[in-house]
Structures are given as structure tokens and as C-alpha cells.
């Protein structure tokens, strides 16, 4: 049984911007300064994002913030690049803008990129993170010698974070490393982690987004029921605003991440994001669905042939979010018609409901009765996101 962790008090998902796509070999002092300028120093930029709920900056793999090798900080002469005052200064910068700061480490001897991990000095690292004012820890699972040590490391870091007295969101990859060998115990994982990765890293491509959605649908009977306030399935970052997704595919990722009640982390370059991508990522209606206080994860409710999928998510006040996804990759828009009778096990539109389209554009669809059907046109690889309100 997990101790009553401080980070367990973090009931709701956060929205954050990450450095994931800036690979370590691309980084330099100049480039890091540019990225931090975009993320921290531009007050207008910060207001543009923070006022709709985006809260933080997360350093994952780039050595802009060389936050690996924390045990080295206890050495008599740590490398100059690793001096802690630089991190404290950066943390103060981030917090002064009203943002939160995330950090990356690993349960094993080394991170996935080969830097020193946290193995066997979990307490030291947790205390160091807390002293720097870190708000989120992403804890990877590379280079652990056994599944027992992997599980022990995730538990120990959870307890160590609790001992700091600071509320630090704990993001795990525990089930991802277990799945090739054994079925994860999600009840236990939720006792220790605030959210957890189940599947491979996301990439800036439609095939990557599609594979995550397919995996989630295939395993939904196992993973959906455990998600809720305090613990969430994490399908990985939003790659909207880069170059690999079309507009329709970007809409699909945003809509489906809202349906899946996913933690929202952007992985993009805020200096060069398009107005369309910015509108999508800042869409208050979509963010409200994602952050709905009922906290239930959505699921695939049905399919029509190979291409069309119907997903639904229960929301507070008896409302539902509904997504119609067209996985067809060629051709033009296709019509999809579905009965409202069976939405939400027959409860979503009983006896009547009003329906609003949220994506790809906001519009009122009208009032419908329980026995009605709704027809939509959905672009290839696109999604229509609806909000169904009971009457």
C-alpha cells in the first residue's frame, strides 16, 4: 500500500509545454536561450497560453537543462555544467511567470539517452528536485536490471517525493515496461503515480497517432476503468503545431486526447506555431471537456465497418462528449449516421438532448429526441467532436 503521498493531492490533469522534440544533439547554449525566451521571457506569449490553462514547461531530453546525474551533486567537485544554482535560477524564472516546471529522470542506472539515472539515490534526487522548486517529475523506465527493481524504483521514488513535503506531479512509464512481460497491476500503479504511459512514444505522424488510438481501443476494458481523479492514462504528447499532421489529423489528436481524459502536454515550438494550431490548442471548449470534473475516461462505443469509429465520454451534469473518427486516408468527406438512442447506454439523450459541435468548428446542431439519428460528414483522418447536453 502506498503512503498518502503529497503528489496524490494532484487530482486533475495539467496542461504543459515540453522540449521533447528538441533532440539532445540539436541543443546548444544559444538554442536553449532562444527556447527559454519563447517559453518564459515573452510575457504576452505566456499570457496567451496560461489564461486558457496551459501551466508549465517540461524539460525531457535536451541538455539545455542538464538535469541528469543528480547523485553527482553530492560530489566534492561536480561538473560546472551541473551546478545547482543554474537550475534554481531557471526555476525562479519559470515560477515568476506563473508557470510550473517539470523535469525528467529515470528509475534505472541510466536514462534512455545514457545519462545517469536515479537508481539507488531516489531520496537524494527527490529532495534535490524539491529544493529546485520542481512541480512535475517524468520518471522513465530504461536500464533497470529486472522487473522487481523497476517496480521497487517506482514505489521508492513515489515515497521519496512524498517525504519532500512538496506537491510534485509524478508521471510514470511503469506499465509500458511491464506490458511485454506481464499484465500491469493498474490498481497498484495508481496508488503511486499520477499518470502513466502505456504505449510507445508519440511521433509527429498520422501513423503514430493512429497506432495510439488503436492500442487504446484494443485495451480499453483494462485501462479505462482505473482512470480518474488522481491517476490518468497518458497517451503521450500533443504534436499539433509541427509539420507531420494535416489539419484534420491535428483536430483528431486534440479531440481524441480530450475524449481519453489525457494529460495534455504540447511538444512543439511556440515561436513558430501557426494561428490555426494555436486556436486548436487553446480551444476552451475542448480543454473544458478534457478537464471535466467528473474525471471519467472515454471509450470506443462502436464501429461502422473499417473506417468509422464512435467514441463517447461521460461528463458532469449527465452530459456526454462524443467523437466520430474517420480513419479512411484517401478520398473526400464521408457521411456517418448514428442513432442517439444508444449513446451513454441509452441515457445521454433520454428523453431529449441538445447537441453542439465543438470541432472542427463550433456550431449548434439543434435539439434531438431519444429516437433520433444524427448524420455528420467527416473528412479522411478527421474527427467531429460533439457535446451532448440532456434536456
Question: Catalytic amino acids?
Answer: 140, 201
CA–CA separation, 236 and 215 (whole Å): 13
Closest CA to 52 of 96, 16, 21, 19: 16
How would you classify the pairing of strands 383-390 and 352-359? Answer: antiparallel
Strands 320-326 and 308-314, by their bridges, are antiparallel
Q: What is the CA radius of gyration of the chain?
A: 21
Q: Which string of DSSP letters, residue by residue, matches 10-79?
A: --S--EEEE-TTS-GGG--HHHHHHHHIIIII-HHHHHHHHTTT--EEE--S-TTS----GGGGGSSS--
Cell of 231: 491517476
Calculated CA dihedral for residues 83, 88, 94, 95, nearest 10 degrees:
170
Cell for 117?
A: 539515472
| Dihedral sign computed on CA atoms, order 249, 253, 254, 260 | positive
Eight-class DSSP state of 239: -
If one counts every other C-beta atom within 10 angstroms of the C-beta of residue 167, the result is 16
**DSSP string of 308-361?**
EEEEEEE-GGG-EEEEEEE---SSS-EEEEEESTTGGGGTTTSSEEEEEEEESS
Residue 346, C-alpha cell as written in the block: 441509452
**C-alpha grid cell, residue 90:** 531557471
Length of the chain: 391
- List, in sequence order, every residue forming a beta bridge with 300; answer none if it has no partner: 311
Amino acid at each position: 500500500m502506498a503512503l498518502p503521498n503529497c503528489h496524490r493531492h494532484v487530482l486533475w490533469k495539467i496542461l504543459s509545454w515540453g522540449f521533447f522534440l528538441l533532440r539532445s544533439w540539436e541543443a546548444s547554449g544559444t538554442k536553449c536561450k532562444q527556447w527559454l525566451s519563447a517559453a518564459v521571457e515573452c510575457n504576452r506569449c505566456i499570457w496567451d497560453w496560461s489564461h486558457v490553462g496551459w501551466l508549465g514547461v517540461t524539460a525531457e531530453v535536451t541538455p539545455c537543462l542538464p538535469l541528469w546525474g543528480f547523485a553527482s551533486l553530492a560530489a566534492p567537485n561536480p561538473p560546472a555544467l551541473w551546478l545547482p544554482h543554474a537550475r534554481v535560477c531557471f526555476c525562479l524564472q519559470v515560477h515568476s511567470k506563473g508557470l510550473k516546471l517539470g523535469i525528467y529522470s529515470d528509475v534505472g542506472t541510466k536514462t534512455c539517452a545514457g545519462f545517469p539515472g536515479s537508481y539507488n539515490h531516489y531520496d537524494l534526487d527527490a529532495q534535490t528536485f524539491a529544493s529546485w522548486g520542481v512541480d512535475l517529475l517524468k520518471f522513465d523506465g530504461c536500464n533497470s536490471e529486472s522487473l522487481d527493481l523497476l517496480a521497487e524504483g517506482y514505489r521508492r521514488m513515489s515515497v521519496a517525493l512524498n517525504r519532500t513535503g512538496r506537491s510534485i506531479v509524478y508521471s510514470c512509464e511503469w506499465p509500458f515496461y511491464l506490458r511485454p512481460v506481464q499484465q500491469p497491476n493498474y490498481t497498484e500503479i495508481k496508488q503511486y503515480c499520477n499518470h502513466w504511459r502505456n504505449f510507445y512514444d508519440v511521433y509527429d505522424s498520422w501513423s503514430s497517432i493512429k497506432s495510439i488510438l488503436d492500442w487504446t481501443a484494443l485495451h480499453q476494458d483494462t485501462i479505462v476503468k482505473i482512470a480518474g481523479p488522481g491517476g490518468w492514462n497518458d497517451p503521450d504528447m500533443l504534436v499539433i503545431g509541427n509539420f507531420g499532421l494535416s489539419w484534420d489529423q491535428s483536430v483528431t489528436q486534440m479531440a481524441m486526447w480530450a475524449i481519453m481524459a489525457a494529460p495534455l502536454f504540447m511538444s512543439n515550438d511556440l515561436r513558430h506555431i501557426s494561428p490555426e494550431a494555436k486556436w486548436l490548442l487553446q480551444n476552451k471548449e475542448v480543454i473544458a471537456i478534457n478537464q471535466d470534473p467528473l474525471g471519467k475516461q472515454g471509450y470506443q462505443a462502436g464501429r461502422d465497418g473499417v473506417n468509422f469509429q464512435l467514441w463517447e465520454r461521460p461528463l458532469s451534469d449527465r452530459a456526454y462528449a462524443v467523437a466520430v473518427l474517420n480513419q479512411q486516408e484517401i478520398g473526400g468527406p464521408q457521411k456517418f449516421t448514428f442513432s442517439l438512442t444508444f449513446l451513454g447506454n441509452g441515457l445521454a439523450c433520454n428523453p431529449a438532448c441538445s447537441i453542439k459541435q465543438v470541432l472542427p468548428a463550433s456550431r449548434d446542431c439543434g435539439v434531438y429526441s431519444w429516437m433520433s439519428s444524427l448524420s455528420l460528414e467527416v473528412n479522411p483522418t478527421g474527427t467531429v467532436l460533439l457535446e451532448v447536453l440532456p434536456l
